[in-house]
Every structure is written in structure tokens, then in C-alpha cells.
Amino acid sequence: MLKIAVLVSGSGSNLQALIDARLSGQIVGVISNKPGAYALERAQKAGIATAVIEHKQYPDRESFDDVMHQQLLDWEVDLVVLAGFMRILSAKFVKAWEGKMLNIHPSLLPHYKGMHTHQRVLNTGDVYHGCTVHYVTAELDAGQALAQGVLTVSHQDSVESLANRVHVLEHLIYPQVVEWICSGTLQHTPNAVLYRGQVLAQPLQFCQR
Ligand code: GAR
């Protein structure tokens, strides 16, 4: 059974979706860089170990990441799932977890890397928006995309409504991708990502009107 750690900074609705999905892997721990994150309460309610590692208490990114790395090793983690974890990770940490660390981002990558994605989509007048689950690499929001949730932007949409609608998609696709990894349906190999034994050339797409 795959051992999973979830890294959070905030509300943790994606963590909740992962808990509720009853994955065939086990969420062995949740790390937050913010002591007050509601995600910690969600984890505790589900009986999952938590660790608060406050980035402010460390002189630089690498020493903060080293402490997280050690915690992940202590929990014997196989898969790291970033779920609203709002810290940029050091190249060394990313390298150590290459092919074993996922992120979810609220845009259809490669569009709108970084912050304020919903506002930027509205500013541009895009027809489509959504979220992407991808492997984490040293470059921000640039690792291979595995799945995307796609929605059609309506004239009535605001930043808030888009955030809510994207969250619905996130809660659908993130547990699905994690389960594919737990079950071996999705495999990271040195040459390619395989989905059901075939090279995954494009992210799998889930659409919502
Ligand atoms: C999610 O929308 C996720 O896509 C985003 O943070 C939110 C966390 O929500 N992540 C990023 O922007 C990462 N670049 P949650 O705490 O309710 O799961």
C-alpha cells in the first residue's frame, strides 16, 4: 500500500476530497507550513498524523525543505501530494521527490502559471478554464500534466464563482489521479509517464459545463 503525505497551507478542501475518496493508498501524514491552517483540523478529525513546519522559523528555503524531507522519510512516504501548499520548493527537495510529487494548480496549464489565475482568465476573456494535476519539477507549474478538469466560463462568472467551480473539478480529478498512482494505472518511468501501459502524451481531460 502506497504511503502518501499531503502538504498544505490553507483550508484543505482538496485534502478532504482525498480523505473522503478512501484511496487504496494510505495518507500517513499532513504537513502544514502554517500553524493555523484549517487543513490540520481536517487531518486530525480523520486520525491522520500532522506536522507543522513553519517556514518563518528557518533562515532559508533549503533548511526548511530539509526538515520537511526528514519528516517525509520518517513517515516512509512514497508519494507527496501538494494540496494548496503555497511555498516554492528548493531544487534539491524537488530532485529528491522527482516522479513522486504531485501538485494541483487552478488553471489549464501551461496557461496561467503562478497566482491569481481566476482573475487573469476573466481579464483575458477566456472561454475555458479549469485545473491541472501535474508532477512537480524545478520549474514552477511546469511538470508533466496528468489530468485536467475543464469548464466553460460564463458571462456571469466572477473570481469567486470560478474559484468555487474550479474547486469542484479539483475534488474530482485529484483523488482520481492519486488513485491511479496507488493502483499502478499511472506509472512514472524514467522515459515516460504510462497510463494503462501506454505513453501518456496529453493530460486526461474531464469536462464540466
Ligand atoms: C486550490 O485551488 C489549489 O488549486 C490551489 O490552492 C487551492 C487550495 O485549496 N493551489 C495553488 O494555487 C498552487 N499553485 P484547498 O486548500 O481548499 O485545497
By the 8 A CB rule, do 76 and 3 touch?
yes
Establish whether residue 104 lines the binding site of ligand 1, counting it when its CB lies within 6 angstroms of any ligand atom: yes
Could you identify the atom of ligand 1 that is nearest to the CA of residue 115?
Answer: 12
CATH number of 48's domain:
3.40.50.170
Distance 57 CA to ligand 1 centre (A): 23
The CA distance from 209 to 57, in Å, is: 44
Question: The C-alpha cell of 87 is what?
Answer: 511555498
By most ligand atoms within 8 Å of CB, the mutation choice from 170, 174, 178 for ligand 1 is 170
Domain end among 97, 131, 157: 97
Domain end among 68, 97, 126: 97
The CA distance from 23 to 17, in Å, is: 10
pTM of the model: 0.97
Give whole-number Cα distances, 208 to 98, 112, 172, in Å: 31, 20, 11
**116 and 91 both lie in a single domain:** no
Cis, peptide link before residue 110, omega less than 30° from 0 = yes
By the 8 A CB rule, do 50 and 29 touch?
yes
Q: Is 87 annotated among the ligand-binding residues?
A: yes
**46 and 139 both lie in a single domain:** no
Tell me the catalytic residues: 105
**29 and 122 both lie in a single domain:** no
**116 and 161 both lie in a single domain:** yes
Residue 89 neighbours by CB under 8 Å, 6+ apart? 61, 65, 136
**122 and 86 both lie in a single domain:** no
The total domain count for the chain is 2
**86 and 166 both lie in a single domain:** no
Segments forming the whole domain that contains residue 208: 105-209
Tell me which residue has its CA closest to atom 7 in ligand 1: 84
The CA distance from 43 to 52, in Å, is: 12
The CA distance from 152 to 131, in Å, is: 12
Establish whether residue 149 lines the binding site of ligand 1, counting it when its CB lies within 6 angstroms of any ligand atom: no
Establish whether residue 175 lines the binding site of ligand 1, counting it when its CB lies within 6 angstroms of any ligand atom: no
Angle at 30 between CA 80 and CA 8, to 5 degrees: 80
> pLDDT tens, position by position, for the chain (209 residues)?
999 999 999 999 999 999 999 999 999 999 999 999 999 999 999 999 999 999 999 999 999 999 999 999 999 999 999 999 999 999 999 999 999 999 999 999 999 999 999 999 999 999 999 999 999 999 999 999 999 999 999 999 999 999 999 999 999 999 999 999 999 999 999 999 999 999 999 999 999 86
Domain end among 76, 97, 118: 97
